[in-house]
A and B are shown apart, each in its own frame.
Chain A
Amino acid sequence: MTAQLQFRNLTLGYDRHPAVHHLDGAVETGALMAVVGPNGAGKSTLFKGVVGTIKPFAGRIDRNGVSPQDIAYLPQVAEIDRTFPINVYDMVAMGLWRMKGLFGSIGAKDRDTVERAIAAVGLTGFEPRAIGTLSGGQMQRMLFARLLLQDARVIVLDEPFNAIDAKTAADLLALVRQWHAEKRTVLAALHDIELVKANFPETLLLAREPVAWGATADVLTPENIIKARHMCEAFDEHAEACVVAA
């Protein structure tokens, strides 16, 4: 197996303060990996680095030939203008962007694909609804339908099940498992330890620095979780420059 993502001494952050500090390791192709850690542990920052919206302070990320724009990314807080006059169908159809680009026409076959994606997330019948009328869970289902259409080899989900009811989370989790079965590489930031243990074979426990990374059962031990919590509470406005060799 080859690594889909390789982190080499990766440091990411904001205003010179590292949020992810000296991360080394590889995500194998087809891995289904949970990223767990307290708030402020650097999970979102790591994902932003993976999809290329922020540049590393030091080190690098090798993506094994996949360009950042070919990675499907569900941000924790989507910057969606919910008052914008657009319906569910058109919003989902945007997932075809990579194939269609600016000008590609959407034919009967594509419309079929869009309909199937909408059906797969259980939103059939909602197509003509304005996005502003959706509930939080329906919104998340719609965004998953868009992810389905993106048909990406690498999928990055930042806290996809927050504020989502159990039924919706279970439905969406089924899609995640399906992506895994299709040998896509999936990274998901999660807080629900039980959900991770039940569904994710591999886990990275992050607290700015990696606490543990490997098989979920070995990583999510009570000792590691407590350690992660302590490591995270150490922001220093006047920290010295880091001296670890780059």
Chain B
Amino acid sequence: MYDLLIAPFSEFEFMRRALAGTIALALGAGPIGVFLMLRRMSLVGDAMAHAILPGAAIGFLISGLNLFAMAAGGMLAGFVVAIAAGLIARSTELKEDASLAAFFLISLALGVTIVSLKGNNIDLLHFLFGSVLALDDQTLVLIAGNVTVTLIALALIYRPLVLECVDPGFLRSVSRAGAPAHLAFLALVVINLVNGFHALGTLLAVGIMMVPAATARFWARDITVMLLIAAVCGCIAGYAGLLLSFHTSVPSGPAIILVAGVLYVVSVLFGRVGGLLRQLFPGRHLEA
């Protein structure tokens, strides 16, 4: 049992780093994912994750596999898309999802092209699926720093963020904090996607955000509990996914998201709040 569950981490430093990185990642990404889901912006998250690729790729083109160049490029591109998505949402009424879908496919193609200009297939794989087993000190610090900023900022904008989802009219009538809170939230989405990009790559970064969030929805009726469950789910997926990858030699990024996926499917079936089983067999109705 020890060999199975703990030894990989106690014996190998790269596993410890990977574990620390994924847990930090999950603590920030889970709550962000819950808010994205409740604001009906799941797809926006996806589009932004893809948009980060060309930005990071341009950083790579200029200065090679330099963490800060790639992170800065990714964040810059992410902010541009966040603002563009906001403008699209306001100026056109119907086609937001279609234009977002078009947008992230273009971003993906552009990013892959730019990476291929300079790098080889290994680099490309690194961009698309990350390299959670090769997190160096700098990257760990970046991830931990971003998550710290995320959690503090979320605490600061929590009230307007919640209120803008549930009753935007009321928020407008008592406060002007709605728009700044929304902008700050978009910025948090971007920095968490950049975080995820380093560990899980463009294609899966949004996975550690949205899959635990969707899972949490099946276990809680209250947003605070939901935020906690999403973060914990992400951590479990990180730990179990790394173990799975270690013992079976499956690539680690996909393994993490696969475990998150299993948790999700189990929740869809057995979740206490609106799970399928619960719907089919709700139990005898109550007295009052």
Measuring CB to CB, which residues of chain A are less than 8 angstroms from any residue of chain B? 51, 53, 68-69, 71, 73, 75, 78-81, 84-87, 91, 94, 97-98, 101-103, 130-131, 146, 150
Contacts and interface: CB of A to CB of B under 8 A. Distances in A.
Q: Which 7 A-B pairs have the closest CB atoms?
A: A84-B166, A79-B169, A97-B174, A130-B221, A85-B223, A80-B167, A73-B173
Interface stretch (B41-49, B84-92, B101-109, B156-164): B156-164
Contacts of B173: 51, 53, 68-69, 71, 73
10 contacts: A69-B173, A80-B167, A84-B38, A85-B220, A85-B221, A86-B162, A86-B223, A102-B159, A102-B175, A102-B177
B145 interface: no
Interface in B212-233: 217, 220-223, 226
B118 interface: no
Interface string B135-169: 00000000000000000000011011011011111
B172 A53 contact: yes
Interface residues of B, number: 25
A80 B168 CA distance: 7
Contacts of A69: 173-176
Nearest to B220: A85
B175 A97 contact: yes
Contacts of A150: 174
Nearest to A77: B169
A170 B244 CA distance: 63
Contact of B167 (A79, A101, A103): A79
B170 interface: yes
Given A130-B221, A130-B222, 17 more contacts: A51-B173, A53-B172, A68-B173, A69-B174, A78-B170, A79-B167, A79-B168, A79-B169, A80-B167, A84-B223, A86-B166, A86-B223, A94-B170, A97-B174, A102-B177, A103-B156, A131-B166
Given A97-B175, A102-B156, A86 B222 contact: yes
Contacts, number: 63
A157 to B, nearest CB: 13
B214 to A, nearest CB: 13
A85 B38 contact: yes
A237 B38 CA distance: 40
A78 B167 contact: yes
Contacts of A86: 162, 166, 222-223
A91 B166 contact: yes
Interface string B172-211: 1111110000000000000000000000000000000000
Contacts of A94: 163, 167, 170
A71 B172 CA distance: 12
B255 to A, nearest CB: 30
A98 B166 CA distance: 18
B166 A81 contact: yes
A103 B160 CA distance: 10
Contacts of B222: 85-87, 130
A80 B171 CA distance: 11
B45 to A, nearest CB: 18
A80 B166 contact: yes
Contacts of A71: 173
